[in-house]
């Protein structure tokens, strides 16, 4: 009935923050929330008074395999019950008004949650219902509020999108991927010597065909070509292809002009 | 027919990257993509060979008011046509295989896109169809690929979620919100002098009622209380409330024990 077919293997479930959906309205959003949680390595879901009851098969259909999160989700009547065993609770709130509270960005919250969970404490992330968001009573139960820096002219954020950004920042808080790198797979980045071999090949053939016959312009033209080929990392495989291109173009020319 | 009622005012449309959906399948995902774009300040949408044609009213229903983006979206037959006027194109690709290419994280891409657009060049962000993602021919037309650091055990990312993360990082690339701060609204953070006034009030009343009668333990107890009240920023309003709490508790005790 709920489509509980096991779903995907979503990876190890460690001491990660609990996602608490407070009075969620649409079962689809609970499913897409579970999917976003799995994307970012959040696995513990709690529901406070879901409007249409629980479980709901529509949630499983929207979860794209994050079934384990839905199956292990627990339901509570009140926010107080849902947070009773937690040490820290952060609540997302796009537009806090008339409130005195610590505010965190999503990135700041990601870092603090890693620190809290790293100390063996249990943390929760509270998200409000789709239309109204968390009410003042809910927010008073949080240590801090999270507000995402996003376009202030268009703050209407889908519930699962809000969960996605927090899950992403939770994951990014310990990620150390270089922001830019070259993937090379089977091949390797060429050395300067290998690149120079190709440049010698190219210049030799360009000399032969007469492209560099203007002795005055020759050094500048060669330098420009070198600048072009030096601009980024070149792989050994690409150099082999480039050698082949020059060789074949030269041979073609020789065959046409015997 | 397409629900073109104008939608929300989504803010100024500047020189921001073009989002290119390549062979998108579901019109709903085009709508939720537009919503995510508006959240992060991306406004230019191009569609390459959308499966069900264009426009589609279901897209407008899913866009939650980001109608302007859908109304100004343009449709192309091929990727080459869609990127012809752009200077840089990045393509999202969760699992590149057998490919030699520059890889960027979403955060790295956000920073590079800001730099590119800041130079007055036009940039594009390419996203593949829901199931298969971009094919090898599509990716060969990109300067670099973007791979999000996310849970490698659950990489199934909804199209609009993928757009959301890039739109968020585009926005974050120029955001300078402090990761943690106290919002105080009408009230102000109390000075140490104001906090000390309250501590004197509290300690005086605790002395009067006998709570601090053990002279040996008194300094430590007072110090512990001070540590508690000094732990975070306290506002003037909170201090007024705390003064009231102490005064009223004292008065209540005096009335009960005449």
How many Cβ pairs closer than 8 A exist between chain A and B?
184
Q: Which of B152, B165, B232 sits opposite A164 (nearest CB)?
A: B165
**A contacts of B116 (beta carbons < 8 Å):** none
What's the confidence (pLDDT) of residue A2? 40
What's the confidence (pLDDT) of residue A257? 65
Lowest-confidence region among A88-102, B34-48, B236-250 = A88-102
What's the confidence (pLDDT) of residue A219? 94
A131 touches chain B (CB under 8 A): no
B250 touches chain A (CB under 8 A): no
Nearest Cα residue in chain A from B189: A100
Lowest-confidence region among A105-114, B182-191, B207-216 = B182-191
State the Cα angle at A235 between A232 and A241, rounded to 5°.
110
CB pair distance less than 8 Å for B237 and A156: no
Instruction: Give the phi and the psi of residue B185 in degrees, each rounded to 5.
Output: 50, -125
A231 touches chain B (CB under 8 A): no
Q: CB of A55 within 8 A of CB of A80?
A: no
Residues 199-228 of B with CB under 8 A from A: none
Crossing angle of helices B236-256 and B192-209, in 10° steps, is 10
Instruction: Give the phi and the psi of residue B125 in degrees, each rounded to 5.
Output: -120, 115
Q: What are the tens digits of pLDDT across the range B94-153?
A: 777 778 889 999 999 999 999 999 999 999 999 999 988 999 899 989 999 999 999 999
- Measure the CA–CA gap between B54 and B233, rounded to whole angstroms: 54
What's the confidence (pLDDT) of residue A168? 98
Nearest Cα residue in chain B from A150: B40
A13 touches chain B (CB under 8 A): no
Q: What are the tens digits of pLDDT across the range A187-212?
A: 888 999 999 999 999 999 999 999 99
Cis amide bond preceding B55, omega within 30: yes
What's the confidence (pLDDT) of residue B257? 65
Q: What are the tens digits of pLDDT across the range A23-78?
A: 999 999 999 999 999 999 999 999 999 999 999 999 999 999 999 999 999 999 99
Reported ipTM: the value is 0.89
The answer to whether residue B56 scores a pLDDT higher than 60 is: yes
Q: Is A98 left (phi over 0), alpha (psi -120 to 50) or beta?
A: left
């Amino acid at each position: 009935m709920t489509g509980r077919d096991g779903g995907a293997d979503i990876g190890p479930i460690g001491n990660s923050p609990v996602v608490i959906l407070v009075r969620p309205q649409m079962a689809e959003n609970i499913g897409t929330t579970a999917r976003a949680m799995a994307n970012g390595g959040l696995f513990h879901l709690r529901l406070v008074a879901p409007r249409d009851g629980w479980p709901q098969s529509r949630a499983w259909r929207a979860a794209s395999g994050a079934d384990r999160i839905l199956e292990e989700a627990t339901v509570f009547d009140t926010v107080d019950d849902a947070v009773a065993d937690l040490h820290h609770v952060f609540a997302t709130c796009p537009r806090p008004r008339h409130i005195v509270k610590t505010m965190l960005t999503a990135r700041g919250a990601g870092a603090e949650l890693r620190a809290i969970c790293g100390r063996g404490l249990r943390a929760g992330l509270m998200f409000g219902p789709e239309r109204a968001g968390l009410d003042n009573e809910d927010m008073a139960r949080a240590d801090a509020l999270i507000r995402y820096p996003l376009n202030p002219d268009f703050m209407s954020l889908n519930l699962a999108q809000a969960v996605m950004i927090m899950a992403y920042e939770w994951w990014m808080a310990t990620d150390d991927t270089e922001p830019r790198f070259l993937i090379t797979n089977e091949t390797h980045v060429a050395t300067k010597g290998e690149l120079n071999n190709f440049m010698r090949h190219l210049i030799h053939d360009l000399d032969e065909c007469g492209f560099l016959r203007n002795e005055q312009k020759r050094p500048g033209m060669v330098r420009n070509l070198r600048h072009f080929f030096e601009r980024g990392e070149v792989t050994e495989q690409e150099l082999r292809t480039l050698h082949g291109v020059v060789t074949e173009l030269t041979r073609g020319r020789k065959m046409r002009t015997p």
